[in-house]
Structure 1
Amino acid sequence: MLKASFVKRELIFKEAGGTSRGVLHTKPSWFIKVSDAYGNFGIGECSIIPGLSIDDNSNLERKIKDVCLNIDDYAANLHETLINYPALRFAIEMALLDLSGKKHLQLFNSKFVDGNDSIIINGLIWMGEPDEMLRRINEKLQSGFKCLKLKVGAIDFDKELQLLELIRNKYTADDLEIRVDANGAFAVDEAERKLHDLSRFKIHSIEQPIKAGQINDMRKLCEVSSIPVALDEELIGINEYETKKELLESIRPQYIILKPSLLGGFKASDEWIQLAEELNIEWWATSALEANVGLNAIAQWVYTKNNTLRQGLGTGQVFTNNIDSPLYLSGEKLFYDPHANWANPFQ
């Protein structure tokens, strides 16, 4: 028989996080502890992005309370009972994996958690005024990053092009890989032109150039785009295996981006990976502004996949009140120190 409890933490950004949906100063996460009759426990994180996560509604905390009160019922069939709560589903999946493991918050055994290997990641650059973004870019490059992901679509597009030109005048495509993420900011009738304008800067890929749900328009864009297209928000809310398959077969993107907190956890993400690989679509995983508990779980999971692309796991340092953890960055590499201790999110 299992027991469960939770605590909420409002995570505070060190610098305001600018996206095409607005500026974030804080975001919530709920930490859920699942215990067995012997006193063993596991912890999972339910992390949402306001305005994006399906779980982001007034019923979420009520649902978390219900799950904790009836944890045995939910744990037995979580991928069905929590189908409409992907972040909460991931939190319970995470907690149960932790509970079943031999060491606290080591969900997958590997050289990564042994401290003998690392994960190469990209550096995330929030949207902002050009001078501010350029400062952040220089900081990342001086730290040793060889791949940057820039948010685009919030400020004047010509200014964004000028910023990219400044970067490329200093760093060639051989020196620096640039990924951009539009978060669906481009209108359909201007997307092809904007992608053409961006292409002269030798962009690795663009995430979600137009809003999700415009299947035919996205398929056409993937066919004609001079920049490889990656689906991101397009995957959110797609739960059935056949529907996932139909989506990828219809659009045929070059890449898909996997955010387990938005997709429903590891089981759901594994289905996307299987389908993508069958269709020769490449993928990488990205954190969705989780605290270190969720980031840790995603990093351990993705390491086991032997994916050679840079992963989007550089969000561990964006909060002033994150959970102290064994995760640490050295240049563009994410490491796990097996001798370091975890802080208790319930204290």
Structure 2
Amino acid sequence: MKASYSKYILNFKRPSGTSRGVLKTKETWFIKIEDDTGFGIGECGILRGLSIDDVPEFENQLKWACENINLGFNYLSEQLKLFPSIKFGLEMAFKSLKSQNPFYLFDTDFYKHQQGITINGLIWMGDKSFMFEQIKAKLDQGFSCIKLKIGAIDFQAELELLAYLRSKFSAEVLELRVDANGAFNPDHALQKLEKLSQFNLHSIEQPIKQNQWQAMRELCKNTPLPIALDEELIEVVDTTHRAKLLDELKPQYIILKPSLIGGFSDSSEWIKLAEDRKIGWWITSALESDIGLNAIAQYASKFQLDKPQGLGTGSLYTNNITSPLEVKGEKLFYNSTLKWETPQV
């Protein structure tokens, strides 16, 4: 068995704003494992400024994993606890290698019978007119759930945008989720949540920055609208601390991004811990190419999904990997009549 990797730069069709800045490109690494039966492909995608493995030694660790691929996934993953995106890429690549088709990772109806997964429409930050333009496009496409990035422009303008949406579409017609990406000051967060709650929102993701457990615990306890933890999960890499986080903070939801939390097995552990505590969850991609998005969508389709998932990022790039993934209306499909482009690794 041998393994290799290569870096790939994804280019956004248009700059996309978050509370952490404007994204124009996204780095990702493809990892390829080969043996005498064929090959497996995986994707290691970090988010600069967010992933815990956004560190100078990232590429050296990826190189080490490839050089020691014969040690197997279980050993490598134990050594790479603090490099969740590499763990995810390796887990994907090993699963891909074992399959007769390197892009068929999970035996579900999403792949076999083209059963769609309902997803939310993602609205990027920008001025009010740009955000409204995006919203209109998503509604025209047939989305009944949209997620708005908030926290970067004037908060009053964001409230006005939400008020306008609610004046046109009731909560029964349009589910609204907002994602603050940790933008709120803990001293003012509850007041902002109270103002947001008048618009009958489904939830707010990560209202304050992670690692402020006392403040987040109070927010989750007193919030007038459900809180979904996202970034909060990233640095918590063992079972004991994961259980402690959920027990102490008691969020209403958690959001699982396999690239940021260590792959499928780690995501499944979070899901079990959450369900044992009657905490809701959903799965979201983290700006991967369609290689990673396909793997995450197939993983998500293993579950009985009762709410829209965050898997609508495949159309963001000018140079995404060509794949059978298609969004029709508000659903993501695997169209098996379309062909894969295999990345050069």
TM-score, normalised relative to structure 2: 0.98
Unaligned runs of 5+ in 1: none
Tell me the distance in 2 between the aligned counterparts of 1:54 and 1:237.
Answer: 6
Tell me the distance in 1 between the aligned counterparts of 2:226 and 2:32.
Answer: 41
* TM-fit CA distance, 1:74: 5.3
Of 302, 305, 313, 2:303 maps to 305
Tell me the distance in 2 between the aligned counterparts of 1:257 and 1:6.
Answer: 28
Of 309, 315, 318, 1:317 maps to 315
* TM-fit CA distance, 1:237: 1.4
Contact 1:115 1:337 in 2 (8 A): no
Amino acid across the alignment from 2:131: M
Unaligned runs of 5+ in 2: none
Which residue is 2:263 aligned to? 265
Contact 1:205 1:227 in 2 (8 A): yes
| Dislocated runs of 4+, deviation >3 Å | none
Of 100, 103, 109, 1:105 maps to 103
Which residue is 1:78 aligned to? 76
Equivalent residues in 2 for 1:97-246 (5 A)? 97-246=95-244
Equivalent residues in 2 for 1:269-284 (5 A)? 269-284=267-282
Amino acid across the alignment from 1:120: T
Tell me the distance in 1 between the aligned counterparts of 2:140 and 2:157.
Answer: 23
Q: CA RMSD in A?
A: 1.0
Amino acid across the alignment from 1:327: L
Say yes or no: does 1:33 pair with 2:59.
Answer: no
* TM-fit CA distance, 1:315: 0.1
Tell me the distance in 2 between the aligned counterparts of 1:252 and 1:227.
Answer: 14
Residues 162-214 of structure 1: CA deviation (Å, up to 9, x unaligned): 11111111111111000000011001110000000001111100000011111
Amino acid across the alignment from 2:117: I
Amino acid across the alignment from 1:31: F
Amino acid across the alignment from 2:179: D
Tell me the distance in 1 between the aligned counterparts of 2:278 and 2:183.
Answer: 27
TM-score, normalised relative to structure 1: 0.98
Which residue is 2:13 aligned to? 14
Tell me the distance in 1 between the aligned counterparts of 2:64 and 2:72.
Answer: 9
* SS in structure 2 at match of 1:92: helix
Contact 2:114 2:335 in 1 (8 A): no
Amino acid across the alignment from 1:271: E
Which residue is 1:61 aligned to? 59
Which residue is 1:345 aligned to? 343
* SS in structure 1 at match of 2:315: coil
Tell me the distance in 1 between the aligned counterparts of 2:153 and 2:118.
Answer: 29
User: Cα–Cα, structure 1 residues 126 and 101, in superposed 2: closer, same or farther, change >3 Å?
Assistant: same
Amino acid across the alignment from 2:318: T
Contact 1:67 1:74 in 2 (8 A): no
Tell me the distance in 2 between the aligned counterparts of 1:8 and 1:259.
Answer: 21
* SS in structure 1 at match of 2:243: helix
Contact 2:114 2:336 in 1 (8 A): no
* TM-fit CA distance, 1:343: 0.2
Tell me the distance in 2 between the aligned counterparts of 1:278 and 1:24.
Answer: 37
Which residue is 1:248 aligned to? 246
* TM-fit CA distance, 1:73: 2.3
Q: How many percent of aligned residue pairs carry the same amino acid?
A: 52
User: Cα–Cα, structure 1 residues 188 and 76, in superposed 2: closer, same or farther, change >3 Å?
Assistant: closer
Tell me the distance in 2 between the aligned counterparts of 1:118 and 1:340.
Answer: 16
* SS in structure 1 at match of 2:112: coil
Tell me the distance in 1 between the aligned counterparts of 2:244 and 2:55.
Answer: 28
* SS in structure 2 at match of 1:211: coil
* TM-fit CA distance, 1:76: 4.3
Amino acid across the alignment from 2:3: A
Tell me the distance in 2 between the aligned counterparts of 1:185 and 1:32.
Answer: 34
Contact 1:114 1:337 in 2 (8 A): no
* TM-fit CA distance, 1:115: 3.1
* TM-fit CA distance, 1:239: 1.1
* SS in structure 2 at match of 1:33: strand
Amino acid across the alignment from 1:70: N
